[in-house]
């Protein structure tokens, strides 16, 4: 009996060992079967073609600024209109032709309506309070509608034309003063100053534009365009090896103080208007003067945001952080890109004197020589100027890459694109695609004129995917209408009012190298020219 009692555990242990072996065998078979099925799934759901990559960093070692050129070169070597790359741990696909862009936007626009949120964009967006870097959501859709229909809608753009005209007057006076002294002008610096001043005054028309505000706008643009290892390599997260987060935190703190002052100033002005309108005391009315009505002044962008914040019936209640993030989005997106496009237009015309002569002759014919200075209202009667604007955008889109993120798996051109994949649409490469453009590297505005191959082609994206410098679909640029109004008018005034020559008096072509800093595709070197006034007497601008 005692032996039986001792033997039983031994028998049980043997049976357990046998059971474990059976379970291990079954588990091994299941793992092998799963691996086989996974391999079949991977073979049937192929990723797009990809260059060889390294462990951990993926293809980061292949990227060289400017990135849109690197993407184009890599895709050309692979012969792949849709290319897959890994930036650290992040899956990315790059669309480099109009056909692939058409399929992505036409068939998958909802799926790629997200935007990757980086460490720095999260900071400047106050988390997800803005619209430029906010994921697709009811909150984002409300802000998008607000931006397209009201903040940057046609009516607001028209109402604030006088603000842009006043900033243009300051630019022309500065250039005229340099011309009178026989001095060269750093056109790049003057255009950035003009663009920043115009957009900030459109946001808040009654505030002064300080040097600090201009400096902060430039700093934010450069930081958001910088490559940050933290966003792609998990091992680097939290370390701030490049010091970008520390710098961005300082810039954000300063910018927040400027925005807070701007909002408080506007709130105080609105409260004074309300009191003058009948809500204040008799003493306040005597001091502050006669009643004011909304019709006595046009609302600026901050007025519109504050109206929405105070609207109890609004679909989404705007917070102070929403307004600040909104202003940062508008200012950083609209300032440098506009300045860069005017600069590219002037540089291209300097390198193509025949085109410059056509633009100038057209302007003189429309406005009548030196009677007045050309303005936005004249644009419909200046088709060659408009063609020059389009040709410049084709070759030098302000944002050369449209950046999206997929929210679900999708199949494009027979290839599988996983969810949470960064989607890059190379607008720069699409604008130079020889499949759609004859002599794609040549600057020829005539292609957009009547009889030209691109006659009737506009920058609105839509179904014209070979020319979409402002992007397309749900994440297309909401400031397109403003750019189409303001940018050609600034270039027209500079060409009408001044003759331009190289600062050193030489005849060599102006360099067209691209900068590798910031979000915007700008020229690498400052455009320094010597102006000579064409109009005498010089007519008033406003």
Under 8 Å between Cβ of 124 and 220: yes
Q: Are strands 82-87 and 410-412 parallel, antiparallel or unpaired?
A: unpaired
Rounded Cα distance between 21 and 42, Å, is 31
- CA angle in degrees (0–180, nearest 5) for 456-462-463: 75
At what angle are helices 320-351 and 301-310 packed, to 10 degrees? 160
Q: How many Cβ atoms are within 10 Å of 333's Cβ, its own excluded?
A: 22
Query: How far is the C-alpha of 402 from the C-alpha of 412, rounded, in Å?
Result: 17
Domains in the chain, please, with CATH? 60-533 (1.10.630.10)
Q: How many CB atoms lie within 10 A of CB 319?
A: 12
Eight-state DSSP code of residue 397? -
Render each residue's pLDDT in the chain as its tens digit; 542 residues.
333 333 323 333 334 334 333 333 433 343 344 444 444 444 446 899 999 999 989 999 999 989 999 999 999 999 999 999 999 999 999 999 999 999 999 999 999 988 888 899 999 999 888 888 887 888 888 888 888 888 888 999 999 999 999 999 999 999 999 999 999 999 999 999 999 999 999 999 887 778 888 899 989 988 988 889 899 888 888 899 999 999 999 999 999 999 999 999 999 999 998 888 754 444 444 434 333 434 445 789 999 999 999 988 888 888 999 999 999 998 888 788 899 999 999 999 999 999 999 999 999 999 986 679 999 999 999 999 999 999 999 999 998 999 999 999 999 999 999 999 999 999 999 999 999 999 999 999 999 999 999 998 988 755 689 999 999 888 888 889 999 999 999 999 999 999 999 988 777 789 999 988 777 889 999 999 999 999 888 887 65
3-class DSSP state of 535? coil
Beta bridge partners of 58: 54, 87
Q: Is the C-alpha dihedral spanning 306, 307, 309, 310 positive or negative?
A: positive
Determine the Cα–Cα distance for residues 469 and 85; give it in Å rounded to an integer: 24
Q: Are 471 and 399 in contact (CB under 8 A)?
A: yes
Q: Any idea which residue has 């309070």 for tokens?
A: 129
Nearest to 445, CA basis, from 320, 348, 374, 307: 348
Pairwise CA distance, residues 157 & 470, whole Å: 17
Q: What is the DSSP string of 311-362?
A: -TT-SS---HHHHHHHHHHHHHHHHHHHHHHHHHHHHHHHH-HHHHHHHHHH
> Which helix (H) or strand (E) segment is 492 a member of?
helix 480-497
For residue 372, the Cα-to-chain-centroid distance in whole angstroms is: 34
Q: Which residues contact 170 (CB under 8 A, 6 or more apart)?
A: 194, 197
CB-based contact 83:71 (threshold 8 Å): yes
DSSP symbol at 54: B
> Which pLDDT score is estimated for 9?
31
Q: What integer pLDDT is reported at residue 370 of this predicted model?
A: 64
> What is the Cα 467 distance to its own chain's centre?
16
pTM reported for the whole predicted model: 0.86
Quick check: 477 and 484 in contact, CB under 8 A? no
Binding residues, as ranges, are 477
Binding site per annotation, positions for heme: 477
Place of tokens 């930036």: 87
Contact present, 460 and 139 (Cβ < 8 Å): no
The length of the chain, given as a count of residues: 542
């Amino acid at each position: 009996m005692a032996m039986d009692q001792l033997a039983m555990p031994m028998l049980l242990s043997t049976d357990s060992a046998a059971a474990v072996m059976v379970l291990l065998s079954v588990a091994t078979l299941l793992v092998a079967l799963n691996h086989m099925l996974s391999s079949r799934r991977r073979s049937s759901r192929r990723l797009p073609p990809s260059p060889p990559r390294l462990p951990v960093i993926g293809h980061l070692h292949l990227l060289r600024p400017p990135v849109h050129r690197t993407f184009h070169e890599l895709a050309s070597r692979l012969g792949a209109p849709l290319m897959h790359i890994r930036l650290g741990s992040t899956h990315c696909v790059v669309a480099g032709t109009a056909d692939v862009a058409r399929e992505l936007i036409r068939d998958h626009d909802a799926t790629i309506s997200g935007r990757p949120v980086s460490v720095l964009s999260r900071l400047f967006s106050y988390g997800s309070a803005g619209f430029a870097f906010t994921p697709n959501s009811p909150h984002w859709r409300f802000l998008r509608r607000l931006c397209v229909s009201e903040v940057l809608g046609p009516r607001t753009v028209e109402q604030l034309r006088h603000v842009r005209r006043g900033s243009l007057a300051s630019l022309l006076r500065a250039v005229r003063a340099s011309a009178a002294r026989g001095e060269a002008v750093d056109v790049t610096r003057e255009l950035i100053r003009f663009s920043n001043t115009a957009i900030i005054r459109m946001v808040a028309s009654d505030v002064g534009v300080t040097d600090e505000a201009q400096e902060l706008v430039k700093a934010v643009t450069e930081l958001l365009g910088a490559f940050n290892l933290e966003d792609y390599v998990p091992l680097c997260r939290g370390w701030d090896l490049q010091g970008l987060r520390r710098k961005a935190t300082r810039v954000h703190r300063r910018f927040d103080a400027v925005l807070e002052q701007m909002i408080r100033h506007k709130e105080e002005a609105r409260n004074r208007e309300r009191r003058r309108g009948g809500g204040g005391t008799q003493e306040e009315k005597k001091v502050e003067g006669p009643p004011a009505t909304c019709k006595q002044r046009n609302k600026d962008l901050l007025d519109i945001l504050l109206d929405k914040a105070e609207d109890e019936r609004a679909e989404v209640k705007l917070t102070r952080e929403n307004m600040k993030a909104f202003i940062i989005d508008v200012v950083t997106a609209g300032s440098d890109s506009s300045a860069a496009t005017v600069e590219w237009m002037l540089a291209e015309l300097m390198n193509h004197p025949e085109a410059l002569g056509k633009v100038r002759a057209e302007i003189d014919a429309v406005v009548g020589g030196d009677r007045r200075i050309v303005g936005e209202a004249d644009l419909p009667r200046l088709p060659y100027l408009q063609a020059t604007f389009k040709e410049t955008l084709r070759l030098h889109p302000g944002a050369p890459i449209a950046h999206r993120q997929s929210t679900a798996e999708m199949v494009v051109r027979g290839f599988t694109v996983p969810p949470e994949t960064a989607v890059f649409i190379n607008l720069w490469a699409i604008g130079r695609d020889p499949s759609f453009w004859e002599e794609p590297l040549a600057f020829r505005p005539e292609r957009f004129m009547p009889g030209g191959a691109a006659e009737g082609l506009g920058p609105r994206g839509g179904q014209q995917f070979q020319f979409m410098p402002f992007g397309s679909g749900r994440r297309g640029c909401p400031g397109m209408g403003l750019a189409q109004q303001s940018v050609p008018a600034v270039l027209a005034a500079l060409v009408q009012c001044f003759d331009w020559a190289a600062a050193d008096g030489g005849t060599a072509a102006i360099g067209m190298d691209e900068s590798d800093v910031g979000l915007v595709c700008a020229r690498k070197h400052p455009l320094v020219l010597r102006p000579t006034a064409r109009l005498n007497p010089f007519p008033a601008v406003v």
